């Protein structure tokens, strides 16, 4: 019984060593993450094997695992850029990005964990300066925001695609101009709108006048045609027809045949 503690001591030490070894070797990858394995005695960063996925992993204690978030992430950026005529413009943009999980090892080896500040942000700033420099403040303020957003995205994506990074979208949230320039543009836009409204009213009045002219000409032409078609004979026939109808009515009357102008009858009556 006295020798039992001495016999058990090596087992206790071994157990402690195993626990320490497991704690140093166990790696847990959380949801939305992936791991890059670094083999200290096996060639460094593993680039020819898939990244370690979510869950529990056992690695050699002398190796190391670098954990990356592989979900879509978002970064907000405020940038000072120049327009085509040299005015300061503030651009507020956000970028959706993530690492390429299939090339996570290459990303770690070639760029490292700080790829956001090393690659993404400098590229976006450069693309924004290049794109905004093609436009005037008036274009930036009004109609060209969607075009600017698309061009910045395309220029950024062109560079970043070779860096094992995925850019999903770049959103231009706000374009801030100097107050004096903004006021001048708003005045100009109001004047242009008022001018367009005035032109619209003039065009509407011109169309209404043209309609009335055409309508009057149509009536005049109709009267002219009607007058040309009414001969004396037709008028006499119409008069005789009207006289017959009047003579048949119950109202008392006196009809004098041939006493009117052109030989038309004259009708006299109390009604």
pLDDT per residue as tens digits for the range 77-124 = 998 888 877 778 888 999 999 999 999 999 999 999 999 999 999 999
Instruction: Give dist(CA 130, CA 149) in Å, integer.
Output: 12
Q: Among residues 69, 91, 124, which one ends one of the domains?
A: 69
Are 220 and 247 members of one domain?
A: no
The percent of residues in the chain predicted with pLDDT above 90, rounded, is 30
Within this chain, do residues 210 and 255 fall inside the same structural domain, yes or no? Answer: no
Domain match, 95 and 22 both: no
Residues 167 and 250 in one domain: no
User: What is the domain count for the chain?
Assistant: 4
Cβ–Cβ under 8 Å, residues 75 and 92: no
Domain span at 251: 236-269
Most confident of 2-6, 39-43, 123-127: 123-127
Same domain, 80 and 137: yes
Question: Which residues lie closer than 8 Å to 72 by C-beta, 6 or more apart?
Answer: 96, 97, 98, 168
Distance of CA 73 to the CA centre of its chain: 21
Among 49, 69, 89, which residue terminates a domain?
Answer: 69
98 vs 10 pLDDT, higher one: 98
**Pairwise pLDDT comparison (150 vs 228), residue with the higher score:** 150
Q: How far apart are the first and last CA of the chain?
A: 153
Residue 35 sits in the same domain as residue 20: yes
Task: Identify whether residues 225 and 240 lie together within a single domain.
Answer: no
Are residues 128 and 205 located together in one domain of the fold? no
What confidence score (pLDDT) does residue 271 get? Answer: 47
- Last residue of some domain: 149, 177, 205? 177
Residue 166 clears pLDDT 90, i.e. is over it: yes
107 & 29 share domain? no
For residue 231, the model assigns a pLDDT of 61
**Are 213 and 148 contained in the same domain?**
no
Higher-confidence position of 234 and 51: 51
pTM of the prediction? 0.61
DSSP assigned state of 62: T
Read off the pLDDT of residues 179-188 as tens digits, 9 standing for 90 and up.
666 566 666 6
If asked whether residues 84 and 154 sit together in one domain, one would say yes
| Sign of the dihedral through C-alpha 46, 48, 52, 57 | negative
Query: In Å, how far are 155, 220, 221, 225, 231 from 216, measured between CA atoms?
Result: 63, 6, 9, 14, 24
Same-domain status, 78 and 57: no
Give the residue, 262 or 107, on which the prediction is more confident: 107
Tell me: the pLDDT tens digits for 13-49?
666 656 666 666 788 899 999 999 998 888 899 988 8
* Cβ neighbours of 271 (radius 10 Å): 7
pLDDT digits (tens, 9 = 90+) for 192-240: 666 777 677 778 878 888 888 888 877 777 777 766 665 666 656 666 6
Can you say whether the dihedral through the CA atoms of 256, 262, 264, 269 is positive or negative? Answer: negative
- Indicate the pLDDT class of residue 148, thresholds 50, 70 and 90: confident
* CATH code, 137: 3.30.479.30
């Amino acid at each position: 019984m006295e020798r039992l503690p001495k016999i058990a001591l090596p087992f206790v030490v071994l157990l402690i060593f195993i626990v320490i070894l497991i704690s140093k070797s166990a790696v847990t990858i959380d949801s939305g993450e992936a791991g890059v394995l670094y083999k200290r005695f096996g060639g460094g960063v593993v680039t020819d094997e898939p990244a370690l996925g979510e869950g529990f992993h056992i690695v050699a204690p002398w190796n190391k695992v670098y954990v990356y978030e592989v979900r879509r992430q978002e970064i907000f950026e405020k940038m000072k850029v120049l327009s085509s005529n040299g005015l300061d413009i503030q651009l507020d943009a956000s970028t959706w990005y993530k690492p390429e999980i299939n090339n996570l090892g290459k990303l770690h080896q070639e760029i490292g964990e700080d790829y956001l500040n090393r690659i993404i942000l400098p590229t976006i700033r450069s693309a924004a300066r290049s794109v905004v420099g093609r436009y005037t403040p008036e274009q930036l303020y009004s109609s060209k925001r969607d075009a600017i957003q698309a061009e910045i995205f395309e220029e950024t994506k062109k560079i970043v695609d070779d860096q094992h990074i995925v850019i999903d979208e770049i959103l231009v949230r706000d374009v801030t101009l100097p107050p004096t320039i903004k006021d001048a543009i708003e005045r100009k836009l109001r004047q242009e709108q008022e001018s367009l409204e005035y032109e619209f009213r003039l065009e509407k009045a011109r169309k209404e006048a043209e309609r009335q002219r055409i309508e009057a000409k149509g009536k005049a032409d109709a009267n002219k045609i009607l007058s040309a078609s009414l001969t004396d004979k037709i008028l006499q026939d119409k008069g005789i027809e009207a006289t017959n109808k009047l003579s048949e009515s119950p109202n008392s009357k006196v009809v004098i045949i041939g006493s009117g102008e052109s030989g038309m009858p004259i009708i006299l009556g109390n009604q």
